[in-house]
Amino acid sequence: MSNAPYADIPRVDALDKVRGATLYAADRQPGNLVHAALAAATIAKGSIVSIDTSAANAVRGVRLILTHENIGPLGSAGFLLGGGRAFQSFQPMSSASIAYRGQPIAVVAADTLEAAIEAASLVDATYHEEAFSATIESEGTETIVQAEAPLGHPNPDIVFGDADQAYAAAEIQVDATFTSPPQHQNPIELVATVAEWAGDRLLIHEGTQNANALRFGLATQLGISAENVEIRSHHLGGGFGQKNSLQMQTVFAAIAARRVGRPVKLVVPRSQLFHDASFRPQSVHRMQLGADASGKMLAALHSVDGQTSRHDLFPGEYCQTSARLYGIPNFRGFHRMVRTDTQTPGYMRAPFEHTACLAMECAVDELAYRLDQDPVALRLANDTAHDPVEDLPLSSRHLAECLRRGADRFGWSDRRMEPMSMRAADGSYIGWGVACGAYPGNAAANVARLTITAEGVVEISAGVHEMGQGIRTVLANVVSRRLDVPLESVTALLGDTRGAYPHLTAGSWGTTASIPATIKACDAMWQRLREVAPDAPSGANPVDLIRRAGLPSLQVEVRSSAPGQDISAVDRIATGGASPTGPAYPGFVTFSYIAHFVEVRIEPNTRRIRVPRVVSVADCGRVLSPRTARSQVWGGVVWGIGAALREESEVDPRYGGFLNADIAEYMIPVNADIGTIDVDFIDEPDPQINEAGVKGLGEVVMAGVAPAIANAIFHATGRRLRSLPFRVEHLL
Ligand code: MOS
């Protein structure tokens, strides 16, 4: 079967989306609907002494108010990383305990949304307050060495060679500390649930990256059989890790719907989302980089303190990537977790790679200046085809070609090395910066079910969710080519417990998990078609064969696993678990790569930082859908600009919680902040990771953007900024 480049087809759901025909969870309007709203804790830690719902109850149209006093037994679904199904182990409203500011303390259900919101605002609690720690710098935190932490699985730091000795002996040493504040995903689609009971059966409409975790987690919380829980999550308006497990509000909607005997819709407003879902934890990175006088990197030491909650341990995997960006022979990683009184932080796009690359790629730029070497040339001289962590070959690595092609497209050869040496006609300082990103080449076991009807409908169902990233377009492109059927005939049933087991869609493994299963299903379908229509002429298409056989439809279901992975990994998906593996496989290691070239312009008086253009060249293996892939890169670069220059979840250590809990004050880039983003792909199939040759894309695209901007700011101004976000005041 050919593995030629794929056609640049339009997004298959584009027309529905621009017409508003695509239904998201909160668009569901079952008859007799009740609206729910949450009341939130106004202290940072402690417990509820008394809760008065009388004023709330008096609001016209209120049907139900749930508090910890009347909600009844409410189990925790367990923390995702501890074998559970939820984003944290702590279950609000199962007791009087308050673990963080903003935690739900009551659920109001009413005939109208207005009544629910008004009543929720009238819920009045008195508290017993306790001391708390809002940030990793606060008093009273607890610091845990990750390698020694009780995580339930071995979690050693990445160490190879003798980095301390090699660093101490190195002719050139760079030692710098980088920080990132907590940040929050803000998908356009809010976290929302519509819950509906029919007898014992519960139907949930919710945008999630993990429909089976919802099914099994909810069953645990409610004490019912998972057989009686159905999930529909056909479209997400963005996931980005925020929707990767059972959310806070889902069980409240389900319980409220059961109590009032009517469907309940619970939309978590943006202001509450900052406390009701996970977030990118605050982190501090010390990077020490040693090199010889020629620029050969000899040693790196990367120490990270990452924020976790009081009730869960969220381990950092920052050194997975920093250890592997270059062929550095000596490396020592050291992770610690710092307990703070927040909800449990979690995965937010390029959760470790974004800040790991900030630390490594800014340090590499500092090294280039210490050596007076071109930053692209220095990177090329430290390239590798070998994975130093596993001591195995890389299945593919085209980072050097990303750098060369990007430099060419950007016009890098016109760059002058000295800081402050390039000025625009209006007097602005021009800075040109470069940085690379890498992301583990994860994959996962999966199931695919393929159905073709005599009417010509081709339905693929696989363990992946459509978050807006374009997986339906990828599936259509792959299935139509493999089966030789029209693109328009291919539909996908995703994120639905009636279809193939929905698998957690995260870690950039959406394509690497679902596409091998899908290709296998296509091949199994051809096999079945030959069996049911053995006398068919060659060249007949699947629908002709089904008609010739006199069948109404034909269905196949297959299971697939990643290289070296036992097929029984599929069983974990069946009960709402996940089956990811990688980036190390038997005999090889897989990563995706990207190189970003950035121009900044800095106005000399106000020091306003602009990013008029970016060139990004990615190595994600074979590109299965060029148009949505390009869109992924645009999105990742925009987010990288946001992370570098705008985004910070602001904490007042005296009060805890997140202050700027809305997208007016949580600063993100607007259209005027974004210039041109020129994207290219190497588009070389990876020969080992899967038959299609595809590696992940959705997260590597963001890794390296922030350091490219930091390095460009240095080039423009001579100032090294190391704490995100970089703002005007840091350049005054
Ligand atoms: Mo992604 S941050 O692994 O959902």
d(CA 498, CA 507) in angstroms, rounded, equals 24
Sign of the CA dihedral running 435, 508, 281, 25: positive
d(CA 693, CA 685) in angstroms, rounded, equals 4
Locus of tokens 């202050």: 659
Q: What is the pLDDT of residues 489-522, one digit of tens each?
A: 999 999 999 999 999 999 999 999 999 999 999 9
Contacts for 572 with CB less than 8 Å, ≥ 6 apart: 445, 578, 579
Cβ(210) to ligand 1 under 6 A? no
Whole-number Å distance, alpha carbon 349 to ligand 1 midpoint, is 5
Check pLDDT > 80 for residue 320.
yes
Check pLDDT > 80 for residue 2.
no
With left for phi above 0 and alpha for psi between -120 and 50, is residue 720 left, alpha or beta? beta
Cβ(238) to ligand 1 under 6 A? no
Whole-number Å distance, alpha carbon 417 to ligand 1 midpoint, is 37
Ligand 1: nearest atom to the Cα of 347: 2
Ligand 1: nearest atom to the Cα of 209: 4
d(CA 220, CA 80) in angstroms, rounded, equals 13
Sign of the CA dihedral running 605, 610, 612, 614: positive
Average pLDDT over residues 417-444: 98
Give the pLDDT confidence score for residue 332 in this predicted structure.
Answer: 98
Check pLDDT > 60 for residue 455.
yes
Q: What is the pLDDT of residues 612-629, one digit of tens each?
A: 999 999 999 999 999 999
Cβ(347) to ligand 1 under 6 A? yes
Whole-number Å distance, alpha carbon 497 to ligand 1 midpoint, is 21
Pocket test for ligand 1, best of 80, 208, 347, 592 (most atoms within 8 A of CB): 347
What's the angle, vertex CA 496, arms to CA 493 and CA 497, rounded to 5?
130
Contacts for 228 with CB less than 8 Å, ≥ 6 apart: 200, 201, 202, 219
Q: What is the DSSP string of 115-154?
A: HHHHHHHH-EEEEEE-----STTSTT-EEEEGGGS--SS-
Give the pLDDT confidence score for residue 151 in this predicted structure.
Answer: 86
Give the pLDDT confidence score for residue 567 in this predicted structure.
Answer: 97
Whole-number Å distance, alpha carbon 677 to ligand 1 midpoint, is 23
With left for phi above 0 and alpha for psi between -120 and 50, is residue 274 left, alpha or beta? alpha
Pocket test for ligand 1, best of 314, 697, 699, 700 (most atoms within 8 A of CB): 699
Q: Which residues pair with 367 in a beta bridge?
A: none
Locus of tokens 């303190």: 305
Cβ(306) to ligand 1 under 6 A? no
Average pLDDT over residues 285-293: 98
Pocket test for ligand 1, best of 186, 279, 317, 349 (most atoms within 8 A of CB): 349
Q: What is the pLDDT of residues 151-181, one digit of tens each?
A: 888 889 999 999 999 999 999 999 999 999 9
| Cα-only R_g, the chain | 26
pLDDT-derived band at 470, boundaries 50, 70, 90: very high
Cβ(462) to ligand 1 under 6 A? no
Q: What is the pLDDT of residues 216-244, one digit of tens each?
A: 999 999 999 999 999 999 999 999 999 99
Give the pLDDT confidence score for residue 536 in this predicted structure.
Answer: 87
Ligand 1: nearest atom to the Cα of 243: 4
Which residue has the least CA distance to atom 4 on ligand 1?
241
d(CA 480, CA 476) in angstroms, rounded, equals 6
Give the pLDDT confidence score for residue 728 in this predicted structure.
Answer: 95
Average pLDDT over residues 3-10: 94
Whole-number Å distance, alpha carbon 508 to ligand 1 midpoint, is 7
**Average pLDDT of every residue of the chain:** 97
Cβ(440) to ligand 1 under 6 A? no
Cβ(507) to ligand 1 under 6 A? yes
Whole-number Å distance, alpha carbon 698 to ligand 1 midpoint, is 9
Average pLDDT over residues 64-75: 96
Give the pLDDT confidence score for residue 65 in this predicted structure.
Answer: 98
Cβ(351) to ligand 1 under 6 A? yes
Q: What are the helix (H) ranges across 372-455? A: 375-381, 399-410
Check pLDDT > 90 for residue 730.
yes
Over the range 219-235, which residues count as b (16 or more CB within 10 Å of their CB) and which as e? bbbbebebebbbbbbbb
pLDDT-derived band at 564, boundaries 50, 70, 90: very high
